[in-house]
Amino acid sequence: MTAPLLAALDPQSAFVQACYIVAFSLFILGIRRGTHPTTAKQGNLIAATGMVIAVATTLALKGIGNWGLIAIGMGGGAIVGVVASRRVQMTAMPQMVALYNGVGGGAVALIAWGEFRHFLALGEAIPLDTFVPILFSMVLGSVSFWGSNIAFGKLQGLIPGQPVKVPGQQVLNGLLLVGIVTVCIVLGFDHDSGPSQGLFIAVLIAAALLGNLFVLPIGGADMPVVISLLNAFTGLSAAAAGIELDNTALIVAGTLVGSSGTILTLAMATAMNRSVPNILFAGFGALPTGAAEAEERPVTSIGAQDAAIKLAYADSVVIVPGYGMAVAQAQHAVKEMANELEKRGVDVAYAIHPVAGRMPGHMNVLLAEADVPYEELKEMDDINPEMPHTDVAVVIGANDVTNPAAKDDPNSPIAGMPIIEVDEAQQVIVIKRSLSPGFAGIDNDLFYNEKTSMLFSDAKQAAADIAAEIENL
């Protein structure tokens, strides 16, 4: 196996190292540019340039061969990547990200296995400072590959989104984890005397099982946390792969992704007022809380025409979107409705709860797709003080994130969760198909508030109807 290259580069040479330094610097610059909507697109191009440099440098390394296979792998991957990224709808972005995350984790696990086999083939002892990262990245990569695939399945509706619970699951997961760690330690002790590949594969499979079992019991609305956490896992596994391969670009890039995933995970958990372990292990949505009290309470129901009148004669309107808006693909209709209101001089803003949707920032992307200027998208902490001066709050496909029980009822499962305080607004219109409870499985007192009018309809249809009615006023 020779590498007939124009200039085969020595992996340890200063030039190669410099190229990798340039690459990871561009990643950092790219992310830094991502701190503002106007510069983020440019930032993404900068990061992509860094990636081109890193890949080109690696392709020129001495010893890289098997060009046919590289072409197949990269060509196939590029085609899938291009097609998928162009086809995917913005509402499906969470599952897209889950899938990309999964393949990244899968790649890490396979690379770890490949490296392991490389050392076995050489018949040399595997230095512990290489073997430990190999084991670490293999386990974490495998967990995040399978975990991400389950998350994808849940988001795509291939697997029930409700928590799937198996009796004794925590114990089983705990045993699996202990088993994985134990076998890894056994393998580590054998590092200089040919560790068993059978055991290695057994760990790979156990980690796969753990990935499946760990995401299956987590419900749909907790997906923002799961996706962020898996993102952090793949990042860390890539950093470990960087250590096993002595590649600085990989270490830095993986660590950046790990930081990002960690920050997002903590932000999502804070926004739910739950600890990360609680989200991961409690199987929240499965609780039958409150569903028992099926007392009939009166609600005020209105039609599109009345809603249009309320909105058209308001001075300020705040729209609170939730996952229901994404499911109904209603973002364009909502924007049309807002346009009609703005034409009449109504002040329109959007209040975005951090965990609205199925991934961090999901609502923002959907509304950006519908050409809503990002200045109109208000974060929870900024909009809540405005609520008492708001004439009408329109809740579209959101539920738990507006439930006043989080503030008022210390016994509620969502007690203490920060909410968008729509109940403080002068009037509330809730667009919803039925009175069914949200993911938390609890009744929303907001629906029975005397300020609240329920518009029972599909979100897209309702927004379109209201827009048409406003135009006819």
Partner 1 sequence: MPLITEITIFVLAAFVGFEVISKVPTTLHTPLMSQTNAIHGIVLLGGLIVVGLSNFWLDNLIGTIAIFFGTINIVGGFMVTDRMLGMFVRKPKKEEPAEKPDAGDGDAGAE
* Number of residues in contact with partner 1 under rule CB under 8 A: 118
Using CB under 8 A as the binding rule, the residues of this chain from 227 to 246 that contact partner 1 are 227-228, 231, 234-235, 238-239, 241-243, 245-246
What is residue 218's DSSP assignment?
Answer: S
Output 249 or 318, the one with its CB closest to partner 1. 249
Residues 3-42 touching partner 1, rule: CB under 8 A, are 3, 24, 27-28, 30-32, 34-38, 40-41
Beta bridge partners of 61: 9
Residue 164 or 225 having the CB closest to partner 1: 225
Name the segment binding partner 1 (CB under 8 A); options: 172-180, 247-255, 272-280, 423-431: 247-255
Instruction: State how far the Cα of 301 lies from the Cα of 433, in Å rounded to an integer.
Output: 12
Interacting residue with partner 1 among 10, 13, 114, 343 (CB under 8 A): 114
CB of 94 to partner 1, least distance (A): 8
Q: Which is nearer to partner 1, 88 or 302 (CB)?
A: 88
Residue 91 or 173: which CB sits closer to partner 1?
91
Residue 71: count of CB within 10 angstroms of its CB: 10
Residue 220 in the binding site for partner 1 (CB under 8 A): no
Binding mask 129-148 for partner 1 (x = CB under 8 A): x-------------------
Residue 93: strand pairing partners:
none
The terminus-to-terminus CA distance of the chain in angstroms comes to: 77
* Amino acid in position 19: C
Q: Which residue, 143, 276, 141, is CA-closest to 207? A: 143
Q: What is the 3-state secondary structure (H, E, C) of 64-102?
A: CCCHHHHHHHHHHHHHHHHHHHHHCCHHHHHHHHHHHHH
Asked if 76 is part of the footprint of partner 1 (rule: CB under 8 A), the reply reads: yes
**Phi, psi at residue 104, to the nearest 5°?**
-60, -45
CA distance 320 to 352: 6
Q: For residues 45 and 158, which CB has a smaller minimum distance to partner 1 in the complex?
A: 45
Mark out the alpha helices in 313-361 (DSSP H runs): 323-327, 331-343
**Dist. CA 127–CA 244, nearest whole Å:** 10
Min dist CB 205 to partner 1, Å, is 15
- Residues 367-426 interacting with partner 1 (rule: CB under 8 A): 368-371, 373-374, 377, 379
Q: Which of 1, 7, 292, 294 lies at the binding interface for partner 1 (CB under 8 A)?
A: 1
Query: Which of residues 364 and 452 has its CB atom nearest to partner 1 in the complex?
Result: 364
Which of 15, 18, 85, 160 forms a contact with partner 1 (CB under 8 A)? 85
**8 A C-beta contact, residue 346 and residue 415:** no
Q: Where are the alpha helices (DSSP H) in 194-291?
A: 197-215, 223-245, 248-272, 276-281
Stretch that binds partner 1, among 92-100, 198-206, 278-286, 298-306 (CB under 8 A): 92-100
Subset of residues 169 to 208 that bind partner 1, contact rule: CB under 8 A: none
- 445 as an active site residue: the answer is no
Q: Does 74 bind partner 1 (CB under 8 A)?
A: yes
Q: Out of 400, 423, 445, 458, pick the active-site residue.
A: 400
Q: Which residues pair with 316 in a beta bridge?
A: 347
CA distances to 239, 286, 451 from 225, rounded to whole Å, are 21, 17, 33
Which amino acid belongs to residue 284?
A: F
Nearest distance in Å: CB 222, partner 1: 16
Residues with Cβ within 8 Å of 52's Cβ and at least 6 positions away in sequence, in order, are: none
Candidate residues 6, 7, 14, 69; the one interacting with partner 1 per rule CB under 8 A: 69
Q: Is 331 in the site for partner 1 (CB under 8 A)?
A: yes
The owner of tokens 């009615």 is 469
Rounded to a whole number of angstroms, the CA Rg of the chain reads 26
| Enzyme catalytic residues | 400
